[in-house]
Amino acid sequence: MPVSAVESQDNSQFDQEVDVLVVGSGAGALTAAVVARVEGCKDVLVVEKSAQYGGTSAMSGGGIWIPNSHYARAEGVQDSAKEALTYLKAVIGDEVSEARLRAYVEKAPEMLEYLARHSRVAFEPVPYSDYYPEMPGGKEGHRTHQPLPVNARHLKQAFRQLREPPPQVLVAGKLTMTMKEGRAFLTQAKGWMWTAVMMALRYYLDIPGRLQGKRSRRLTMGNALIGRLRWSMLEQGIALWLNAPMASLIEENGVVLGAVINKEGRPLRVRARKGVVIGAGGFEHNLEMRKQYLPQPTNPEWSGSQTNNTGDGIQAAMKIGAQTDLMAHAWWAPSVKIPKWDRPYVIFAERSLPGLVIVNKAGKRFQNEAAPYLESGLAFYTQNKPQEPTFPSYVVFDATFRKKFPFGPIPPGYSMPDNRIAKRVWDVLVKADNLQALAEKIGVDAAGLQETVRKNNEYAKSGVDPEFHRGESYYDRYYGDARTHPNPCIAPIAEAPFYALPIHPGDIGTKGGILTDPNGCAVDESGEVIPGLYVIGNSAASVMGSKYPGAGATLGPAMTFGYLAARHAAKQQDVAQISRATAAPGKSPQPAVQV
């Protein structure tokens, strides 16, 4: 929905008043709502533009990247804010101010402990490697945390409005799994079949759940995180409006007083006494903004996020003079688009499995297939050349791989029965008896593809990839096959038939947005705080810059700055009493507040 013009209103002309108005219902937004309520804000309102709450967070793995957490310390993990800051600075460089980086590494573990004390939110650390563990300060695990599973019965009727997880985080379209279970299932690690049996037993033995419908009541991953936050909101009496998009911010004399919310077919002017928190996602499903800001070619259909993220919050803040940053960047991740499915399969981990290559139209590899997904997705742009185009590229594998492993929409050993889903997969999955025929079918240079596969098979024997160093990083090997030697990420591609899938530079959201100070306060073009306005999550310019330091580096900052924004707002006087220099001559503008 397009953002309407900025409105200036007399303080008495409002339809409703609250202490804090939160726009969006992802992990950062709901964290802000819960914290604001705990901090003493009696009236907290969350508004969501769609009919379901949870945003892209509900569809995600639910992981958060939090260094030096109390959960990790309880398990004897050695970490510190100093090490984490060293790591972030080594990975990100000078793209983000040290003040914001320092606020994150110092306040993120505080946020996690706060939620553990004051809400139903609970996590556990997992041995998931940082994405650049060899960098100074990097770790091989326990900075990423997964939400503990929770039963949907605690949500009562609110379960029906929780955004459903995508097929790629479900087994057989209905069995939910944790990050740990997913890794065991994907890599077929020791005991993986027992893991699958337990998942099935939990599902079918939940008789009340089966009587209610197909959807599992065992919430995991992003559904567990959003479910726990929503459970906390229900206990605390926090209101949530669905089908209630924000139309514009209400601004007067440089101060944000509230917002216009469209509810039940009419605009409502909602005054926010202590502030508006925008956590409404990025602009990945706004084609015009993608064309304006992101590298080309671009397509919203390659994005794995939920389709309501059209940059409304970013545009509303820009209209009142908020500064933006990092608008050319996204949380890149390769994706496979299946015709007539509402979103693509984002390929997070399968690229690390042995027995596949990703090739361009020249039949050549152009990246380390096992690299972190941001690096893999970005390579489509950085390595795109007129003589060797990468749009689209193709994942190539053989019969052995297909029998053993899943890839995107294709489960291992899938026989492709004659049904609706299978027909759609066959629209993009190409099969041939030899590499020459496969190359001709997909329009890839046959000699180039054959030479690439020959080299891959050599690397499988030696365990060394001299071109792109696949399998050298601890991260690469995390999702590799431990049974494959000498390199768990490389195996021969030799058994006919051979297969190919088109793959694009997808994303799970955009990184660019409103620039904020360390408390999540939006700043204007001169770097001064805009009183009454906080921006978090993918509506804000990412504290991670253009990089992706570890699993959960999207949700971790969203929740942390949601926490900081809510605590900052709770301490403010009524924003209607705040005046900037334009309204009070001689008064200095309010500076960005340091944590």
- Helix (H) / strand (E) element for 173: namely none
For residue 493, give its domain range. 335-505
> Do 263 and 316 fall into the same domain?
yes
3-state secondary structure of 572: coil
In a domain, 200, yes or no: yes
In a domain, 593, yes or no: no
Task: Find tokens 């390769």 and name the residue.
Answer: 334
**Is the pLDDT score of 593 beyond 50?**
no
Residue type, 277: V
> Do 430 and 400 fall into the same domain?
yes
Residue 460 tokens read as: 């499988």
Q: Where does a domain end: 505, 524, 551?
A: 505
In a domain, 527, yes or no: yes
User: How much is the average pLDDT of 533-548?
Assistant: 98
pLDDT tens digits, 361-395:
999 999 999 999 999 999 999 999 999 999 999 99
Average pLDDT of the residues of the chain: 92
User: How much is the average pLDDT of 16-29?
Assistant: 98
In a domain, 440, yes or no: yes
Q: How confident is the model at residue 416 (pLDDT cuts 50, 70, 90)?
A: low
> Do 422 and 479 fall into the same domain?
yes
Q: How confident is the model at residue 414 (pLDDT cuts 50, 70, 90)?
A: low
Q: Could you tell me if residue 243 is left (phi over 0), alpha (psi between -120 and 50 degrees) or otherwise beta?
A: left
Q: Where does a domain end: 505, 529, 556?
A: 505
Percent of the chain with pLDDT over 70: 93
Name the CA dihedral angle for 465, 470, 472, 473, rounded to a multiple of 10 degrees. 160
pLDDT, residue 588, reads 41
**Is the pLDDT score of 7 beyond 60?**
no
Check which CATH number belongs to the domain holding 361 and give it. Answer: 3.90.700.10
Residues in contact with 278: Cβ distance below 8 Å, sequence separation at least 6, in sequence order? 23, 24, 246, 313, 316, 317, 514, 533, 534, 535, 536, 539
CA distances 331 to 282, 326, 507, Å, are 10, 11, 5
Give the integer Cα–Cα distance in Å for 133 and 139: 5
> Do 312 and 387 fall into the same domain?
no
In a domain, 581, yes or no: no
Residue 408 tokens read as: 């995107």
In a domain, 3, yes or no: no
**Is the pLDDT score of 442 beyond 80?**
yes
Q: How confident is the model at residue 415 (pLDDT cuts 50, 70, 90)?
A: low
**Is the pLDDT score of 196 beyond 90?**
no
Give the integer Cα–Cα distance in Å for 15 and 222: 34
User: How much is the average pLDDT of 147-172?
Assistant: 92
In a domain, 539, yes or no: yes
> Do 365 and 472 fall into the same domain?
yes
In a domain, 40, yes or no: yes
- pTM of the predicted structure, to 2 decimals: 0.92
> Do 516 and 561 fall into the same domain?
yes
> Do 184 and 311 fall into the same domain?
no
pLDDT, residue 193, reads 81
> Do 422 and 373 fall into the same domain?
yes
> Do 304 and 263 fall into the same domain?
yes
CA 578, 584, 588, 591 torsion: positive or negative?
Answer: positive
> Do 428 and 514 fall into the same domain?
no
> Do 252 and 352 fall into the same domain?
no
Q: Where does a domain end: 505, 534, 559?
A: 505
**Is the pLDDT score of 6 beyond 60?**
no
pLDDT tens digits, 201-256:
888 888 898 888 889 999 999 999 999 999 999 999 999 999 999 999 999 999 99
Number of domains in the chain: 3
Give the integer Cα–Cα distance in Å for 294 and 4: 24
Q: Are 531 and 590 in contact (CB under 8 A)?
A: yes
> Do 343 and 426 fall into the same domain?
yes
Residue 479 tokens read as: 């999702």
pLDDT tens digits, 70-89:
999 999 999 999 999 999 99
**Is the pLDDT score of 592 beyond 80?**
no
